[in-house]
Chain A
Amino acid sequence: MFRLTLPLAILLAICALAVVTARHQARKLFVELQAQERLGRELDTEWGRLQLEQSTWSMHARIEQIARSQLRMAVPERTSIQVVKASDVEARP
């Protein structure tokens, strides 16, 4: 009876310490999880902002204005358009 007591007491102490460590680890991991979740939310915000920014930069009115004034682009003249029909292409060898 008494011979068992000592090992059991030691085992109990080890278990108790393990519980404490596990608890501590859990808290630490949880803090980290929270930080990651916060980061996720921040990135989400950032993504939304970037999407809005992208759509502002790619406004059709703006692109058209840049294309016409800076890049000197224009709708092609009738003479420079050639229509290629799929049937014509297939007919040729």
Chain B
Amino acid sequence: MRRKGMLPRELQRWRMRVVMTLVFAGFGVLTARAAYLQGWQDDFLARQGELRIQRVLEIPAHRGMITDRRGEPLAISTPVESVWLNPAEAEASPAQIEALARRLGLAPRGLKSLFADKARSFVYLKRQLPPEAAAAALALGIKGVHATPEYRRYYPAGEVMGQVLGVTGVDDRGLEGLEFAYQDQLAGRPGAQRVARDRLGNVIEVIEQLRPPKHGEDLTLSINLQLQYLAYRELAAAVAEHKARAGALVVLDAHTGEVLAMVSVPSYNPNNRASMSRSGSRNRVVADVFEPGSTMKPFVVAAALESGTVTPETRIDTGPGWLMVGEKRIADVHPKGEIDIGEAIKVSSNVAAARIALDMKSADYWAVLRRAGFGTPPGAGFPGEAAGRLRHYETWRPIEKATMAYGHGLSASLLQLARAYCVFAGDGVLPGLTVMKRDAAVAGERVLSATTARTLRKMMEQVTQEGGTAPRARVMGYRVAGKTGTAHKADKGGYAADKYIASFVGLAPVSAPRLVAAVMIDEPSGDEYYGGQVAAPVFAKVMAGALRFMAIAPDAPLEDLPAPGTVVGEAT
């Protein structure tokens, strides 16, 4: 019996089987495929998936700050953005490109050609933009335009700290000065993290932190910015007044060996690379050497006192004001007759200095100069510290020994000279220099006996008295000691007759010396060129400021300084 509309039973069963077989075969294929993908291809596919959504992003780390000894910022990194383009994925209408060019301040034509260069996948459009400007450029929503955070260095003190700090390059690496010397401490190390991003490129999840960012260390310098400003202003004024080629100045703390101020003129503004020049970027205090001239005389006297060839009472006959050594004539500006060695320092007699040197063993003289740091880099932590030139005593000829007594035939940087004067300030001990803040005095190296150092201090104090070469170096309320130098510049195998380096190195207060300052003015070409006329007034102004800033008690009665009379001239 057949029901209406129904197929015969055999037929039904057959069809049922076919359908079931097909369905199960379908399931079977799917299962096999799934097993293949999950089992054999699993790793490959998972990696491909990750590649599409995961990225390793850099976490920028900023460069350490540099501050002065009181915490005032000298170099700060602030975030900026660099805008870049991936031409391969870029899509922009000509109108968009023009709008972008306007916002970035670029030429539209050049920008168009960058967009057209599909072979490249990375090109900087503009580096180190203020964040707002970069945001404005990104706001156009052009595909392929991105921004990367970077840091830019700013130097609030500008040209006042110019050569001391140096500069960093566009990649945030120090190129010169302390930025270069302390690159390792200052530099930060960017961190890295693995993130998942969605189709639009937004970060949706941090999967793992590969490396935390390490920000750079801050540096606290020994520089006192207040004093640095004062020193820069006074030195620049003196260089301009005397129409000099250049000038340099350094102030040291004789107890701790810290550099309190260090300026060179001409300078440059590190915030504006365009103002950089070869002469402006030289740190003349550490990198330039010169023949120091008469500022070396205290060392020959000290060496002679130490070796016992003279005593403070020894009198020296300077004869007619000149002396023949071999073929060469050593002369003073004025004949001085018979003088004692204090007087020889006070009036800066070349003849007397040469006599003292010639009466002494070369080895003794050389040893004192060597111990005082001449001929070796001062090691304050600057890159390119000059060592100067001090030849071994076995190669000295008598004339060289004589000229070295008044600072010719050897060379030193201003920093070496100032450091060597710390020996007189520190009762015979040479401190180790540093440009980093130090909290306590450090043990130095003994160069002279305390008695000799004190004797020399007393002699050098006379230099600033009436009849000395530097009455203009005096500071109201303080006893000041120092020595002038007016050296002829070495020029083409000889000495230029009318080119000088005027210098003054001094210390204060004499009763308990704390500060040493050295001033050098290169080629003063006005009417005045003696160290006592050109360099000593700068010393006096800067030292007065330094003593006040450091709150050092006066050791002399507060009396108006008598108007200094004529400065006694000197030949070196």
Chain A residues proximal to chain B, CB less than 8 Å: 26-27, 30, 34, 41-42, 44-45, 48-49, 51-52, 55-56, 60-61, 78, 81, 83, 85
Instruction: Tell me the nearest residue of chain B to A26, going by C-beta.
Output: B205
A-B pairs with lowest CB-CB distance, top 9: A48-B78, A55-B156, A60-B229, A45-B79, A78-B558, A52-B154, A83-B554, A51-B73, A78-B560
A-B contact pairs, 8 of them (CB 8 A): A34-B203, A45-B78, A45-B131, A49-B78, A55-B72, A81-B477, A83-B558, A85-B553
Q: Mostly helix, strand, loop or mixed at chain A's interface?
A: helix
A52 CB contacts on chain B under 8 angstroms: 73, 76, 78, 154, 156
A48 CB contacts on chain B under 8 angstroms: 76-79, 154
> Does chain A have a CB within 8 A of B29?
no
Assess whether A27 is in contact with B205, with CB atoms less than 8 Å apart: yes
Q: Looking at the complex, which one of A30, A41, A49, A85 makes contact with B205 (CB distance below 8 Å)?
A: A30
> Does chain A have a CB within 8 A of B226?
yes
List 9 other contacts, CB 8 Å, given A48-B79, A52-B78: A27-B204, A30-B205, A30-B206, A34-B203, A41-B79, A41-B149, A51-B73, A55-B73, A78-B560
Assess whether A81 is in contact with B558, with CB atoms less than 8 Å apart: yes
Q: State which size class the interface on B falls in.
A: 20 to 34
Instruction: Tell me the nearest residue of chain A to B78, going by C-beta.
Output: A48
> Does chain A have a CB within 8 A of B559?
yes
Kindly identify, within residues 317 to 365 of chain B, every residue whose CB is under 8 Å from any CB belonging to chain A: none
> Does chain A have a CB within 8 A of B476?
yes
- Give CA–CA (A83, B131) in the complex, Å: 53
B242 CB contacts on chain A under 8 angstroms: none
Assess whether A78 is in contact with B559, with CB atoms less than 8 Å apart: yes
B61-85 contact mask (Cβ, 8 Å, vs A): 1 or 0: 0000000000011001111000000
B229-243 contact mask (Cβ, 8 Å, vs A): 1 or 0: 110010000000000
Q: Mostly helix, strand, loop or mixed at chain B's interface?
A: mixed
Assess whether A61 is in contact with B73, with CB atoms less than 8 Å apart: no
Assess whether B156 is in contact with A56, with CB atoms less than 8 Å apart: yes
B77 CB contacts on chain A under 8 angstroms: 48
B233 CB contacts on chain A under 8 angstroms: 61
B477 CB contacts on chain A under 8 angstroms: 81, 83
A45 CB contacts on chain B under 8 angstroms: 78-79, 131
Q: A30-B206, A85-B553 are in contact. Are A51 and B559 (CB under 8 A)?
A: no
A42 CB contacts on chain B under 8 angstroms: 131
A51 CB contacts on chain B under 8 angstroms: 73, 76, 156
Instruction: Tell me the nearest residue of chain B to A31, going by C-beta.
Output: B204
A41 CB contacts on chain B under 8 angstroms: 79, 149
A81 CB contacts on chain B under 8 angstroms: 477, 558
Q: A52-B78, A55-B72 are in contact. Are A61 and B229 (CB under 8 A)?
A: yes
- Give CA–CA (A85, B477) in the complex, Å: 14
A78 CB contacts on chain B under 8 angstroms: 476, 558-560
A83 CB contacts on chain B under 8 angstroms: 477, 553-554, 558
Kindly identify, within residues 197 to 211 of chain B, every residue whose CB is under 8 Å from any CB belonging to chain A: 203-206
- Give CA–CA (A56, B225) in the complex, Å: 13
Nearest-CB distance from A89 to chain B (Å)? 13
- Give CA–CA (A78, B478) in the complex, Å: 13
B229 CB contacts on chain A under 8 angstroms: 60-61
B154 CB contacts on chain A under 8 angstroms: 48, 52
Q: Looking at the complex, which one of A44, A56, A60 makes contact with B226 (CB distance below 8 Å)?
A: A60
Instruction: Tell me the nearest residue of chain A to B80, going by C-beta.
Output: A45
Kindly identify, within residues 468 to 516 of chain B, every residue whose CB is under 8 Å from any CB belonging to chain A: 476-477
B447-476 contact mask (Cβ, 8 Å, vs A): 1 or 0: 000000000000000000000000000001
Instruction: Tell me the nearest residue of chain A to B59, going by C-beta.
Output: A37
- Give CA–CA (A78, B203) in the complex, Å: 69
- Give CA–CA (A61, B228) in the complex, Å: 12
Nearest-CB distance from A87 to chain B (Å)? 10
Q: Looking at the complex, which one of A26, A44, A55 makes contact with B79 (CB distance below 8 Å)?
A: A44
A44 CB contacts on chain B under 8 angstroms: 79
Kindly identify, within residues 205 to 224 of chain B, every residue whose CB is under 8 Å from any CB belonging to chain A: 205-206
- Give CA–CA (A66, B554) in the complex, Å: 28
A61 CB contacts on chain B under 8 angstroms: 229, 233
Nearest-CB distance from B71 to chain A (Å)? 11
- Give CA–CA (A34, B59) in the complex, Å: 13
